[in-house]
Amino acid sequence: MNLIKMASNENPYGPSPRAVAAMRAVLAECNFYPDNDATELQARLAKLYQVQPEQVVVAAGLTALLETIARTLLLPGLNAITSERSFIVYPIATRAAGGQLIEVPMHDNGFDLDAIAAAIDRYTRIVFLANPNNPTGSMVPAHEVDRFLQKIPAHVMVVLDEAYYDFAQHFAGLRGVDYSHSLDYVRHNHNVVVLRTFSKTHGLAGVRVGYGVGPAEFISSLAHMRTIFSVSVLAQAAAMAAIEDEAHIRQTIENNAAQAEVLVRAMSDLGYHVAPTWANFLYCELRGDAPSVARRMQAAGVAILPLGAYGAPTAIRVTIGTPEQNEIFVNAFRKVMAHATVR
């Protein structure tokens, strides 16, 4: 039985064909160490976002970059702040650096920015803001982030984690919402670093390449704290090609928006609450034993994620797949839930 992977928010269409061709083209160069600064990719991203190259750092995925940020800014006795039910790497990175993570209660499955601002003290060095948030799929609109940043003292760096940027931007256009001013904050020298990745819309989760855009001095510190040669020859070639494949990106985000509606309707019709999403996954409250449901779904051929580790023991996260994958998911979910004791 082939297992359909709908647990890790990967691109169901795979990597860009251009990225695959680019990786094949450099296979014979893998005896050489990669460009430590990913200079060509750094320059391409700087041009795309109208910033200076020294304001961009490329890393082996956002997990590695989050760990580097924590090691750069935190020490024992210092803290970082985020929301409960947010990205699982924030506590891991904070504690590995010796810091304390303060998790503020959510408001309506989303970040409560007023509560986060109120929690900042003289020992705070980082605010992690996942926008959209993983795993709830919620989004904080631009005007609320604008207002929030006015409250942030100079000793705090705001990490705007926009791993799902492309999906959120597309949803915002459909829904008439202003999603993000993040790069304007960087251009106007705010204490903000914006994180994005090639793992989602570009389909390159397996080669590990992400990047940060922020104040040049801080970006330089991150670059010096990275593991040397961490972004492989393959990853750099793939990212350079993927960023140009507009057709692949468009197919991914348009399918995601259309299929989100299909899945929300199907799961809601069965009586389960699905939070509105701004990303490429759905957060569904089952009101019961989510791990048991996940095990039974896997036995039926579909992998989904129970969210106990995220502080939501009765909820699941489901990646939005292709139409064919989603049809298989819905049929399996309907059968599993008909025998579940989660209502």
- pLDDT tens digits, one per residue of 18-30: 999 999 999 999 9
Rounded (10°) angle between helices 62-73 and 216-225: 100
C-alpha span between 231 and 238 (Å, rounded): 11
Tokens of 35: 């460009």
Report residue 78 as tokens: 């210092």
CA distance 235 to 270: 42
Backbone angles phi, psi at 339, to 5 degrees: -115, 10
Parts of the chain belonging to CATH 3.40.640.10: 17-242
pLDDT digits (tens, 9 = 90+) for 141-172: 999 999 999 999 999 999 999 999 999 999 99
The CATH class of the 4-12+247-338 domain is alpha beta
CA distances from 176 to 41, 116, 144, 170 (A): 32, 27, 16, 10
User: Angle CA(99)–CA(104)–CA(106) in degrees, nearest 5?
Assistant: 145
Contact (Cβ atoms closer than 8 angstroms) between residue 281 and residue 137? yes
In this predicted structure, what is the pLDDT of residue 126?
98
The confidence band for 339, taking pLDDT boundaries of 50, 70 and 90, is confident
Residue 12 confidence (pLDDT) above 90: yes
CA distance 182 to 214: 10
Region 215-232: mean pLDDT is: 95
Can you tell me the mean pLDDT for 305-331?
A: 97
Tell me the pLDDT band of 1, cut-offs 50, 70 and 90: low
341 pLDDT above the threshold of 90:
no
* 72 burial level (CB within 10 Å; 0-12, 13-18, 19+): middle
Is 342's pLDDT higher than 60? no
What's the mean pLDDT in 115-136?
98
Residue 295, amino acid: R
Whose CA is closest to 70, among 144, 125, 1, 132?
A: 125
User: Which regions of the chain carry the CATH code 3.90.1150.10?
Assistant: 4-12+247-338
Mean pLDDT, the chain, integer: 96
Provide the CATH number for the domain formed by 17-242 in this structure. 3.40.640.10
The angle that helices 233-242 and 39-49 make with each other, rounded to 10 degrees, is 30
Residue 14 has what DSSP assignment? -
**pLDDT above 80 for 256:** yes
Q: What percent of the chain has pLDDT over 90?
A: 97
8-state DSSP, 308: G
Residue 96 predicted with pLDDT over 70? yes
- Asked if the model's pLDDT at residue 343 lies above 90, the reply is no
Reported as a pLDDT band with limits 50, 70 and 90, residue 2 is: confident
Taking only the tens place, the pLDDT of each residue in 325-334 is 999 999 999 9
Contact 104, 53 (CB under 8 A): no
Instruction: Give the model confidence (pLDDT) of 28-58 as tens digits.
Output: 999 999 999 999 999 999 999 999 999 999 9
**Does the structure show a pLDDT above 80 at 225?**
yes
Quote the pTM value.
0.96
